[in-house]
Amino acid sequence: MNNEVKSNITNEEIEKSINIINGLSTYYDERIVGQRNLKNALIISFMIGGHILLESVPGLAKTTGAKVLTDAVNAKFSKIQCTPDLLPSDIVGTQIFNYSTNKFDTIIGPINANFVLLDEVNRSSAKTQSAMLEVMQEKKVTIAGVTYKMPDPFVVIATQNPIEQEGTYLLSEAQTDRFVLKEIIDYPTPEEEVTILDRIESGIIDEVKPVMKVDSILYLQQIVKKVYVDDSIKKYITSIIDATRHPEKYISRDLVKYIELGSSPRGAIAIMNVAKAIALWNKRTYVTPDDCKAMIHSILRHRIVLNYAAVADGIKVEQVIDSIMGAINTP
């Protein structure tokens, strides 16, 4: 099989795509020290138009990373600080009576932006979290029976702090499943932290100089859709997802007993779309099995639900994912 013949992506399109990706990557590296996993996850989510959930303790550049890449393309950025008293109307918008016209005016909320940061999303109530479901899935909001489309591109970047539990509301499976990726952010190394201090002193981090237009993101999304995925790769992806639902057919009973729930079809879609973006990033017009594996932890860690026994025994979801990937035959 000649994968490259199957694709209709030209060399010029690949070159332009790589220039855009490299431009985003360079802009990020000039303003953020380290955190390569965060950079890769954000760029991939932009390339496929998927939402992303970032988890870490405070102060590890989650907000800064999202804002930096938004600045790079001169896009509309909106930050929503989630709190327990935040109402759905505070996010999607509402109607306000205008006394001068004796009519209700519709006010669209801060969700109306290209890139929306939901900071500490698990601090908002379940009612407010559910208000995001339609927006994240349909990319539109409905106010007083009227539907308003979100701008294109539209990506939600949510953050949560796994340490503090007081005043927080656990995200439901329906909510987390709508995030294409869940990335865990770790502390910088001592050397990286010295560089951070140097950059703070120099003021480089505060500089905002867009290097491209927001249309560049739309271009990337169009090219990613054209990346070829062979039927054998699709079967490989569905085998991975099936293994999360019926683990007893693939992995040892020692791990099977910890799995409460497997992935929905969104997991398969996420693997395919992320693999397409990774293939393009690597200057290829077709997907390989390695592309499917590259970010598998970020794709599945929030889609496989472990039971309380796993928590008690210190079993991590990444262990389960690695076991599943090892049991699936690679095409």
Contact predicate 31/203, CB 8 Å: no
Could you tell me the fold of the domain covering 1-85+111-225? Rossmann fold (3.40.50)
Query: pLDDT by residue (tens digit) across 226-247?
Result: 999 999 999 999 999 999 999 9
Strands (DSSP E) contained in 203-268 are 259-261
Which structure tokens are listed for 266? 């969104």
Query: Residue 183 belongs to what H/E stretch?
Result: strand 179-184
Q: Is the pLDDT of residue 130 over 70?
A: yes
Contact predicate 112/151, CB 8 Å: yes
- Strand-pair partners of 80: 118
pLDDT of residue 72: 86
Q: Tokens 């992806």 appear where?
A: 237
Q: Which of 42, 300, 171, 205 is nearest to 319 (CA)?
A: 300
Longest dimension (CA), the chain: 70
Q: Which of 272, 281, 180, 283 is nearest to 232 (CA)?
A: 272
Query: pLDDT by residue (tens digit) across 18-67?
Result: 999 999 998 888 888 878 888 899 999 999 999 999 988 777 777 788 88
Q: Where are the domains of the chain?
A: 1-85+111-225, 227-331
- Average pLDDT over all residues of the chain: 86
Which structure tokens are listed for 12? 């010029």
pLDDT of residue 4: 47
Please give the model's pTM, rounded to 2 decimal places. Answer: 0.89
Strands (DSSP E) contained in the chain are 51-55, 77-81, 93-98, 103-108, 115-119, 140-143, 146-149, 155-160, 179-184, 259-261, 305-306
Q: What percent of the chain has pLDDT over 90?
A: 40
Considering the domain 227-331, what is its CATH architecture? Orthogonal Bundle (1.10)
Query: pLDDT by residue (tens digit) across 166-224?
Result: 656 777 777 788 899 999 888 888 888 888 888 777 766 556 677 788 889 999 999 99
- Which range has the top average pLDDT, 5-9, 82-86, 152-156, 189-193? 152-156
Which structure tokens are listed for 65? 């990373």
What are 145-148's contacts with CB under 8 Å, separation 24+?
146/106, 148/93, 148/106, 148/108, 148/112
